[in-house]
Amino acid sequence: MVPLQIPGGPELLIIFLIYGVLGLLPIAAALVGMYLLYKIRNDIGRIADALEESESV
C-alpha cells in the first residue's frame, strides 16, 4: 500500500497564501472602484459649482 502524500509545511503555506491573495483581489478591486467613483463624484460637484459661479458673474 502506498501512503498518500499530504502537503504540509512550506507547500501548504504557499498554497494558502496564493488562495488568500486571489480571494482578496475582487474585494480590493471593488474598494478601489468605490473610491474612484467617490473621487469622480466630488470632482464633478466641484466643476459644477465652479461653472455656476462663473455663469453668475
**Cβ(15)–Cβ(7) below 8 Å:** yes
- In this predicted structure, the answer to whether residue 14 has a pLDDT above a threshold of 70 is yes
How far is Cα 7 from Cα 2, in angstroms, rounded to an integer?
A: 15
Inform me whether the pLDDT recorded for 29 exceeds 90.
yes
More confident residue, 49 or 8: 49
Grid cell at residue 11: 507547500
Higher pLDDT, 21 or 8: 21
pLDDT at 16: 86
Place of cell 455663469: 55
Q: Is the confidence at residue 37, as pLDDT, over 90? A: yes
Residue 38's pLDDT band, with cuts at 50, 70 and 90, is: very high
pLDDT at 13 over 60: yes
Answer whether 42's CB lies under 8 Å from 50's CB.
no
